[in-house]
Amino acid sequence: MPVAQVATRADVRRDAVAADSSSKGIGATDSPHRTMMGSIMAHIVSRQPWGVIDVDDVQGRVPFQQDWHYTWVLFAPSVRPWTAAERRNFHNAVDRQVWGTWSNRVRLQVTGATDFARRFARAGVGLNFDIRWVTSVGHWSVTVRKMPVGSGRTTYRSNVTFATRRIELDTADLAAGGAANDAGASTPRFRSPPHEFGHTLSLPDEYSAGSPDLADSGSIMNIGRAIRPRHWALIVTELNKMVPGVTFVAPLSVP
C-alpha cells in the first residue's frame, strides 16, 4: 500500500501561496483553474465565497483555506483593551484548534479513468484546513469579543451566519467547557471554535431537538469532536465539479 502523505502547516501555507498567485481576487466566486509548475499540472483551484479549495494533483492532497477579517471588540466597557499580542494569540489558538480537529482526519476516495484517479485510487487524497488572518476583505467577517476574566463559554453565545459569511466569537471560546444536547448527553470538554468552523462549511447544529443526528453526541456539530462523512458534503460537492473525470467520495467511516 502507498504511504499516506500527511501535510504540515507549512505545506498548506505554501500551497495557499500558489493558489493566491493565480487568484482573481479574494472571496470571488470563480471557476476552477490550474496553476502550472514547469510541465506538471500542479494545482486545480476553486475560489468560492466561503473559502479556497486547492487540489494538488501532484502530491494528492486538498488544502482548504479561509481568509478571516477580524473586528476586535470589548464585551463591556470595564474590559481592558485588546493588545496586539492578545489578538495574535487568539487567532493562532483558533487556527490550531481548527487544524487539530479537522485536518488529516480523512482521505477521500477517488475513482475515474484519469491519471489522477489511477494514481490516488488506493491511497486517496487528504484534506487540510487553514485559517488566514487578513487585514482587508476576507471570505469571512469575524467579530471577536474580549470577555471579562472568569467568563464562561455561555456568557456570550458564539454563532455563524453562513448566508452573510459572518462569525461571532469570544475569548471564552478558547477553553474547553461543559456542553449538553437535547437528548440529555453531556461533555465537560467541548470546544467552540472547531464546532463553529463547521458552520462555515454550511453544516447545521445537531444538538437540538429535531435534528436527525441528535443521538450522535460524539459528532463535532453535536457536542463531540468526531468528523462524520456527512460533514464533508460541501467540500466533496465542489471537488466533484473541479476535476473532470474524477469522482470524490467521503469514506463511510472516519477515524
Domain residues for 245? 9-249
Cα angle for residues 36, 109, 214 (degrees, 5° grid): 120
Domain annotation covers residue 4: no
SS3 211: coil
DSSP 58-111: TTTEEEEEEEEEEEEEESSTTSPPPPHHHHHHHHHHHHHHHHHHHTTS-EEEEE
Separation between Cα atoms, residue 140 and residue 120, nearest integer Å: 32
Is 168 a member of any domain? yes
Q: Is residue 105 part of a domain?
A: yes
Q: Is residue 3 part of a domain?
A: no
Q: Look at residue 153 and tell me if it is in a domain.
A: yes
Distance in angstroms (rounded) separating the CA atoms of residues 95 and 197: 10
- Judge whether 98 lies within some domain: yes
Q: Can you say how many angstroms the Cα of residue 211 is from the centroid of all Cα atoms in its chain?
A: 22
Task: Return the H-helix or E-strand segment holding 42.
Answer: strand 40-48
Helix (H) or strand (E) holding 9: helix 9-21
Strands 166-170 and 140-146, sheet pairing = parallel
pLDDT tens by residue, the chain, 255 residues: 333 334 444 444 434 434 443 333 333 334 455 544 343 457 899 999 999 999 998 999 999 999 999 999 999 999 999 999 999 999 999 999 999 999 999 999 999 999 999 999 999 999 999 999 999 999 999 999 999 998 887 789 999 999 999 999 999 999 999 999 999 999 999 999 999 999 999 999 999 999 999 999 999 999 999 999 999 999 999 999 999 999 999 986 555
Q: Is residue 244 included in any domain, yes or no? A: yes
Overall domain count for the chain: 1
Q: In degrees rounded to 5, what are phi and psi of residue 134?
A: -120, 155
Task: Say which residue the cell 436527525 belongs to.
Answer: 212
Residue 255 placed within a domain: no
**Predicted pLDDT at 97:** 97
